[in-house]
Amino acid sequence: MGVLDGIRILELARVAPAELPAMMLADMGAEVLKIETPEPGRDTSDEWVRRTIHTFVNRNKRSMTLNMKSPEGQKVFRKLASTADVIVEGFRPGVMKRLGADYETLRALNPRLIYCSLSGFGQDGPYRDRPAHDMNYLSLAGVLNLIGEKDRKPVIPLNLVADYAGASLHGALGIMMALFARERTGRGQHVDVSYLDTTVSLLAATPNMRFFFSDGLAPRRGEGFLGGSYPYYAIYTTRDDQLLTIGCTEPWLWENFCNAIGRPDFKRFARTADQLVRAANAEEEASRREIEALIRTRDRDEWYELLVKADVCVGKVYDIPEMVADPQINHRRMVVDVEHPTQGRVRQIGVAIKLSETPGAIRSAAPMPNEHTEDVLKDLGMTAAEIADLRRKGVVE
């Protein structure tokens, strides 16, 4: 039994960050119905089918098509919403109101409804109607300007920060908080999640920001003890042209590293309190270059085994096939296989949150768009003739 068994979620989202929150809840037992726009002539080739069912963010969901711009489609949606526990939507503010499916409209039908909106800038404020993507949020949050080397342009990271750690995870957490509050009050509420807000919040938790408000010390790109300029927190190239990460910010771990590489004299370059925002000085940079030359004398895996045994914070810079084969990843069941009724074995990334009493589960791979439309409409009490009429009008596929 999943911890969220019996919780019914409707999802209206076209981008993966808005699809991930409901998937996380589906992994824990929630019943998620994905509402998609009818697409006449949709590609149904075997290759397209194979790729679709591997879509991580849509596993454990059902799918139906519904033309939300039509009065009939809006009527069907309101029927679904009247008994739903949660709605997750990822459109710009105002879109759901134009579709007759905004929070104020639906909570009048269902006062217990929890309605989660994920949008770039939130439901209010001067930027609320603007389009943006992960890199734009990072730049406005001050995050992008801190990523990369000092004398170069910022490095654009994968869209893990604003999109997923920001909006997706905060969205899932906000829904869970609202469900918990509903247990006490009996009332639902609107969960307003902004990609920009959540990125700013994540930045505030980093060491870079620790003394900004208190002492006015503004972090800068490539500086500070996590900026990559210090020898104890850096990426090194090995003899076989592979990469190794060393993250020994604690003095005792740095000592372990220095002893392991045969350079105990480098212990004096351990992290100090004044390095929070400043860049490495000439002597510190020189020590990093010396270590780089030393690390070049052995292959990556040889160094890794040696440093692990020496109790050093070390990591191999994997490519994706290496990550998928890693023994720790597999021991924790972060790569699993799911049987699909028509496509056979489907490989998936596993459930990251491990609950001892009510563990999550991957019950099904991602559905084909429109796979469950007829079942959903029948569950609403519609006859075959009524369903055929909706198809004729283009309300559903």
pLDDT in tens, 69-122: 999 999 999 999 999 999 999 999 999 999 999 999 999 999 999 999 999 999
- As a whole number of angstroms, the distance between CA 261 and CA 307 comes to 8
C-alpha torsion sign, points 177, 179, 183, 184: positive
Report whether 212 contacts 202 (CB < 8 A).
no
Radius of gyration of the chain from its Cα atoms, rounded to whole angstroms:
25
- Asked if residues 324 and 335 have their Cβ atoms less than 8 Å apart, the reply is yes
**pLDDT of res. 81:** 98
In the block, residue with structure tokens 């914070």:
313
Give me the CATH topology for the region 8-202+329-392: Rossmann fold (3.40.50)
Predicted pLDDT of residue 261: 97
How confident is the model at residue 207, as a pLDDT?
84
In this structure, how many other beta carbons lie within 10 angstroms of the beta carbon of residue 9?
A: 24
The predicted structure's pLDDT at residue 31? 98
pLDDT of residue 15: 94
Distance CA 210, CA 216 (A): 10
pLDDT of residue 106: 98
Taking the C-alpha atoms of residue 380 and residue 31, their distance in angstroms, rounded to an integer, is 16
pTM for this predicted structure = 0.93
Hey, which residues does 339 pair with through a beta bridge? 345
Residues forming beta bridges with residue 116, ordered by sequence position: 88, 191
Cβ-based neighbours of 136, under 8 Å, separated by 6 or more:
120
Q: Which CATH architecture has domain 233-317?
A: 2-Layer Sandwich (3.30)
Q: Where are the domains of the chain?
A: 8-202+329-392, 233-317
Domains 8-202+329-392 and 233-317 agree in fold: no
User: Would you call 163 a catalytic residue per the annotation?
Assistant: yes
Catalytically annotated residue among 27, 85, 134, 163 = 163
What stretches of the chain show up as alpha helix (H) in DSSP? 16-27, 46-53, 71-81, 95-98, 103-109, 134-140, 169-185, 195-204, 212-215, 251-260, 282-295, 300-309, 320-325, 327-331, 373-379, 384-392
Residues of the chain with pLDDT under 50: none
